[in-house]
Amino acid sequence: MTKNKLGEIEETDQHEQHYLEVVKAFARLTYESLYLIDYTDMSFEYVSENPLFLCGYSAGEVLQLGYEFYFRHVPEKELELLTLINEVGFDFYASVPVQERKLYSITYDFHLVQKDGKQILINHKLTPLFLTSNGKMWKAMCIVSLSHHQAAGNARIYKQGSVEMWELNVGKKMWHKSEKPVLTERETEVLRLHAQGLSINQIAEKIFVAPDTIKYYRRRIFERLEVNNIMDALSYAVNSKLI
C-alpha cells in the first residue's frame, strides 16, 4: 500500500462523522456487504452485518481484524493477485487528474475461504469516499457481492458518466482501455423484463413478438456481455449500470 502512503492527516482534511449514519442506512437497504476503508492505518472504519461475506465472524470481529481478515481467508495465490491489483490500481489512480478521482471505481473478483473450507467467489467494488487535500485516497467505500464470473481476477476500472473502461492484463501488469458493451433499446427492454421475473413467453406477450424472437434477443445479450445465462447477464448489467 506504499503507493498511497498518507502520513499524518492535516486539520483541513478532517470531516464530520455524520456520513457514517448515511452509510449505515444504505447498508440496511442492500443485500450486499458494505465496508469503509481508512487508508491512514489500513483499517476498516465500518463493516455491515452480512453473514455470507464474514466467514463466520461477526461484523465487529471483522472490523477489529481489518486487513488481517483477508490474510486469513483469501487463498495465497489470490493474495498475490490482490497485491498486484492494488499496485497497478494506485498507479492508474495517480495518473488521473485530482478533480476527477472521485468519478472512478474499481471492481475485481477473488475467493473467500469459509471456516468449513468451502470457497465462494466474491466481487469487490471500491470507490473513493474522501481524498486528502493533495488528492490521496483517504477513505473508500467497498461493496461486496457474489461474483457473476467463474474465476478470480476480472479487474476493471470504470469512470462515472462514461462508456470507457479499463481492463487489467495481469501478465503485462497493464490496463487496457476499452468500452462498456452497449445493448440495443429492445435488448435492454428484454433484460429489464427478465429482471422483473417475467418468463420468455410472458415477455413475448408483453412486447407483441414470438417467444423465438425473445430467445434471439437473449442470445444477442449473452454474446454482447460475454455471459452464458440470464442470471449472469442481469448481474453484469446491474453492476455495469447498463440497466
For residue 239, what pLDDT is reported? 74
* Segment 91-128, tens digit of pLDDT: 999 999 999 999 999 999 999 999 888 999 999 999 99
Dihedral sign, Cα of residue 45, residue 51, residue 54, residue 58: positive
Q: Where residue 194 sits, what CATH number does that domain have?
A: 1.10.10.10
Radius of gyration in angstroms for the set of CA atoms belonging to the chain, rounded to a whole number: 20
For residue 155, what pLDDT is reported? 95
DSSP classification of residue 161: T
Q: Where residue 99 sits, what CATH number does that domain have?
A: 3.30.450.20
How many Å from the N-terminal Cα to the C-terminal Cα in the chain?
A: 34
Question: pTM of the full predicted structure?
Answer: 0.82
Residues 121, 59, single domain; the answer is yes
Residues 42, 100, single domain; the answer is yes
For residue 7, what pLDDT is reported? 60
Task: Enumerate the β-bridge partners of residue 124.
Answer: 108, 144
Domain that holds residue 127: 2-179
Q: pLDDT below 70 — which residues of the chain? A: 1-17
Residues 67, 124, single domain; the answer is yes
For residue 102, what pLDDT is reported? 94
Residues 196, 171, single domain; the answer is no
For residue 13, what pLDDT is reported? 52
Task: Enumerate the β-bridge partners of residue 151.
Answer: none
Q: How many domains does the structure of the chain reveal?
A: 2
Residues 159, 207, single domain; the answer is no
Task: Give the strands of the sheet with 43-47, arranged side by side.
Answer: 43-47, 33-38, 137-146, 119-131, 104-113, 153-159, 164-169, 174-179
Residues 225, 193, single domain; the answer is yes
Residues 191, 171, single domain; the answer is no
Residues 119, 202, single domain; the answer is no
For residue 238, what pLDDT is reported? 79
Task: Enumerate the β-bridge partners of residue 168.
Answer: 175
User: What is the greatest pairwise CA distance in the chain?
Assistant: 64
Residues 64, 119, single domain; the answer is yes
For residue 17, what pLDDT is reported? 59
For residue 158, what pLDDT is reported? 92
Residues 162, 201, single domain; the answer is no
Residues 118, 135, single domain; the answer is yes
Domain limit, last residue, from 158, 179, 200: 179
Provide the grid cell at 19: 456520513
Instruction: State how far the Cα of 20 lies from the Cα of 127, in Å rounded to an integer.
Output: 16
* Segment 47-79, tens digit of pLDDT: 998 877 899 999 999 999 998 999 999 999 999
Residue among 90, 81, 86 nearest 110 (CA): 81
